Structure 1
Amino acid sequence: MMKRIYTFALLAALMLAGCEREEQRSDSPKRMVIDPTMVGMPLPTSRATETDFEQGDAIGLSVTTSGGERYASNARFLFDASQGRFLSADGLLWYEDVNATSTLFACYPYREGDALPASFTVAEDQNGGGYAASDLMTALKSDVRPTASAVGMTFRHRMARLIVNVDNRSGSPVDGIVVRNAVGRGLLDAADDTFRVDPDGAAVAVKARELTADAKYYVLLVPQSVRLEVEVTTAEGPRTYTLGEAELQGGKNHTLNVRILPAEMEVVLEDEITGWEDGDELFPEESLPGGDDGEQEGWLEYGGERYRTATLADGRTWMAENLRYVPQGRSISSDPSDGSGIWYPCDLNRTASPGLVAQNGLLYSYPVLLGLDGDLSAENYNRSEGARGICPEGWHIPTMAEWLRLAGAGSGQLSDPESPYFDQSQAGAPLDALNADGFNLQNCGAINAASATAKAAYLASASAADPTQFGMGYFASSTGYKLFYNTTDDPSSGLKNIQFYAGMTMWNTTYKRLTVAYQGGYGAAAVRCVKDL
């Protein structure tokens, strides 16, 4: 298969068409477009220094077909801020066989060459442009077919970051901070998207980036096990401190607290390892999740994200935020009909909205949220009640009974007289009562598919009580409800739909409540995890 080379004029026309974001005809050449998402920090996306990719940022992309042929090697893609996507700098088109799958690997920042770099080295002076240049991110996606749509790829930070907090009581301002002993080079393996320290690499002395003078500094390092030496220089001269063995993890923050006294210096590397966030987003020290399992009362750390938790009047501890977790190897999609399994939430115009992730979480298909090995089927839909699924260890997808204990009532005359929140006037649980206990449950959009063959689409409606807010929302349960066949009660006619019980929120001029309802299993919903007893 040969890549097609087009003239500059045709390339300009293609890019203009891309700006209009129109679907191409099936018989036209398919442009290769990358829709990036990042993890290792709160969404929306964030690099080490800025809040998003910027106009002209470049990645290198390799494309390897399932037959092992290298279709593209370190192809240069440039970020178009107007679209929020990477476009090929050379007009790279998909190969013609639409049934042939391939594996895509992307690397940021772009490095010149005929192939993606096999190694990556941090800058030794990170107080200038060297900090941003040290921010290695990669993304891997398999089983990709040629498509007129953008390919979603999830970029992950590969460097470990030290956040150096300085408590200076010496009377002399800090002139600079240097971190020594860490190996400065790591080896990059595109085949399995791994990055590890080069065992033959040399130790380096890295000058920290000054974020706030005399207070906060950043250092990007290759992940490794190392005894770091920290040197802090003031007008009185340099002071050094050597730490014990520490395991620096890629895509994670490691907090280093430095206290400078008139006659000595104390340095402590905190045990907590948190997801990658910009320094201004860090929680106060007394609020950080801690403990061996990443939990502290009222907080949970999972997949590089922090979640509030709440113990409600039902006696259970629930996530008080919608799940935003993206498993390794998966990426977030903006097209609810593409079968990717994880999608951005939508706005009231039923359009994908990455900016709503922090508030509404992501939307998950039932196979993904339940942790099924394959597709949903008549044989497996009701075998995952109480499953951990996509939740953290020690937590699980709520069952219908757990949602009903909160709501007290639901469709089909469901009732739980022991619900502590049930309100007869609401025919369910008032959201205000749940949220007063810290549940923070809000309406949001979902994805709906009327049948196994129907095209899935975003589902959203405005509240009649406040047209700027969602009128309803679905929250997944792990309890299957019912199978529906093309001909009623005739399995031989073929499976038409599968329904699951779900928590459903509603807000209109009469109700602002939680009840239990049904959702089609070929759609997608927000996820709240509940802690195991």
Structure 2
Amino acid sequence: MLFSNRIVGHAVLLFALACMGSCSKTFAEYARVTIVPTFETRVSALDFDRGDRIGLTIVRGSESYAENVAMTYDGTAFADGPLWYAERQEPSTLTAYYPYSDAGAPSEFTVAADQRTGCSSSDLLGAVARDVLPGEAPVNMVFRHLLSQLTVFVNVPAGEAVSGVALSGFSPTARVDFGSMEVSAVAVTGVREVLACEVQPGLAYRAVLVPQQADLTVTVSMADGSVYRETVASVELESRKQYTLSVDVADERLNLSLKGSIQDWEDGGSIVGDVVKPGEPGTPGDPGDKEDGTLDYDGVKYRTATVAGRVWMAENLRCVPQGAAVGSGIWYPKEGADAVTSKGLLYDRATALGSANAGSAPVRGICPAGWHIPDREELLSLAGADCEAGFFVDSGCWIVMGSNDRYGSYSYLMSSALSAADGQMECLRVSAASGAGSLVSVSAAYGVSVRCVKD
């Protein structure tokens, strides 16, 4: 009996010790740091791509708790962070950057000299979250662009073709302070050239540059071997802002017009600079939607119209996001590339909204800042409104199994709403004959015209 009691007592002791080992676990022993990123857009997409990596540093008080921990985006969040510490009432500061480097957050960062295959590796992002308490809830971190983006739109005479665009005169290296999220250019000697990425064949080129004030030289190379070059004096590019440069190749020279940000990154004012050529100053311009019923977006001017109390684009969108390609998620109208100016482009839902699983309205998608893809109610308001003559002309020539066999009978405009049927989206269909409109379900994989509506 005594032997039996000893066995029972020993078993109870073992159970108690086991319980102490398991029941005393705090959340910090299984709760990992999870980061949900937020920003307007990246240089190459509307969000982080699955597999992208950031570097995370956590400072607890005055001591480093985690240093340059690599975290990978899973399509929704960065969820593979370090374990939280147990003291739940002690705040910390989280600093993250992209793209990740084994060497840690860079104190100096140099943009790629050859960006022809893409700008992503030069798109330096940073985020800081202060007074963060350990917990199981994810931490929202706002990632900000630290450099500048310049998009060059080239207009050439008929029959001529552009082979490349280069930008020079700016230092390619920035000194970076992730604590304050500020950058400054590092002085360099000699001419440094950046080859821009082609984002629309022969029409639009893009590069990420270090924010600074300097003379900017633009070189446009033509397919026939000719080269055009002009310089804009004292151009100032600011951190986190996007700028556009319109280039007209005429009379064997370049005519340049620079503007401030009109989309994606934070708004920047007009660039004040003079083109360095005798008696012909540069023409700064104000971006955005104008009072005269037009909208400047991605180097294209669209007509706008007020319908049912809302401001709409009166032309079909024809923007190709960075990283996208015509023929995959975006299509030309039936007549081909020559008809894009009048008919716009056709988009599947994932491309237009930035994700096949985009959330509830309003969804900006590929629309300019301050505008969004219309929801079903906004589209229905068009159907019941007295639209201007020709408002729906050339809208929504959608693709069915790779062919445009519904072309011309109806106009189609995309909404942000999914329909009840699996894989279907709701679109407004307007009869070309009667003008009557209604909502219909269309495959989310088909190409449909997009009209953005102002927020």
TM range (shorter): 0.5 to 0.7
Matched residue SS, 2:261:
strand
How far did residue 100 of structure 1 move?
A: 0.6
1:248 to 229, 233, 237: 237
Match of 2:203 among 204, 211, 215: 215
> Hey, what's the Cα distance between the residues in 1 that align with 2:386 and 2:36?
38
Q: CA deviation at 1:249?
A: 2.0
Corresponding residue for residue 55 of structure 2: 60
Determine if the alignment matches structure 1 residue 106 to structure 2 residue 101. Answer: no
SS in 2 for 1:120: strand
CA distance in 1, matches of 2:311, 2:63: 45
Given that residues 252 and 274 in structure 1 are in contact (C-alpha distance below 8 angstroms), is that contact kept between their aligned partners in structure 2? no
Label 1:437 to 1:25 Cα distance change in 2 as closer, same or farther (>3 A).
Answer: farther
Larger Rg: 2
Distance in 1 (alpha carbons) for counterparts of 2:217 and 2:112: 17
The alpha-carbon distance between structure 1 residues 311 and 296, as it changes in their structure 2 partners (threshold 3 A), is: same
Please give the alpha-carbon distance, in whole angstroms, between the structure 1 residues aligned to 2:248 and 2:364. 39
Pair 1:76–1:202, CA change in 2 (3 A): farther
* Whole-angstrom distance in 1 between the partners of 2:295 and 2:228: 37
Which ranges in structure 2 are unaligned for 5 or more consecutive residues? 1-24, 266-284, 297-302, 313-356, 371-379, 388-418, 421-453
What TM-score results when the alignment is normalised by the length of structure 2? 0.54
How far the C-alpha of 1:180 sits from its partner, in A, is 0.4
For 1:523, the equivalent position in structure 2 comes to none
Deviations 1:31-88 (A, max 9, x none): 111111113xxxxxx32113322221100011112x211111211101112xx01133
Q: How many residues align?
A: 283
Deviations 1:404-446 (A, max 9, x none): xxxxxxxxxxxxxxxxxxxxxxxxxxx979x9799xxxxxxxx
CA distance in 2 between counterparts of 1:201 and 1:191 reads 28
Match of residue 460 from structure 1: none
Which of 355, 360, 364 is the equivalent residue of 2:359? Answer: 355
Give, in whole Å, the separation in 2 of the partners of 1:27 and 1:35: 19
Task: Output the CA distance in 1 between the equivalents of 2:87 and 2:148.
Answer: 40
Q: Give the aligned partner of residue 73 of structure 2.
A: 79
* Identity score, percent: 32
Output the aligned Cα RMSD.
3.7
- TM-score, with length taken from structure 1: 0.47
What are the residue-to-residue correspondences of 1:116-155 with 2, within 5 Å?
A: 116-129=105-118, 131-155=119-143
Q: String of CA shifts for 1:305-364, please: whole Å, max 9, x gaps.
A: xxx999999xxx9999xxxxxxxxxxxxxxxxxxxxxxxxxxxxxxxx963363499xxx
> Which runs of no fewer than 5 residues in structure 1 stay unpaired?
1-23, 40-45, 278-289, 302-307, 321-352, 362-391, 393-430, 439-466, 469-527
Contact 2:307 2:385 in 1 (8 A): no
Q: Which residue of 2 aligns with 1:69?
A: 63
Q: What is the CA deviation profile of residues 254-274 of structure 1, one whole-angstrom value per residue up to 9, with x for unaligned ones?
A: 11111112522222213x322
CA distance in 2, matches of 1:61, 1:269: 37
Which one-letter code corresponds to 2:37 in the other structure?
P
1:79 is aligned with what amino acid?
Y
User: 1:151: Cα distance to partner?
Assistant: 0.7
Q: Secondary structure at the match of 2:362?
A: helix
Which of 45, 60, 63 matches 1:50? 45
Report if aligned partners of 2:53, 2:70 keep a CA contact under 8 Å in 1: yes
1:181 partner amino acid? G
- Go from structure 1 to structure 2 and tell me whether the alpha carbon gap of 1:436 and 1:251 turns closer, same or farther (over 3 Å shift): farther
- Which residue of structure 1 aligns with residue 35 of structure 2? 34
Query: How far is 1:209 from its partner?
Result: 0.4
Rate the CA distance shift 1:262–1:133 in 2: closer, same or farther, 3 A.
same
Letter of the aligned partner of 2:236 in structure 1? E
**Partner SS, residue 262 of structure 2:** strand
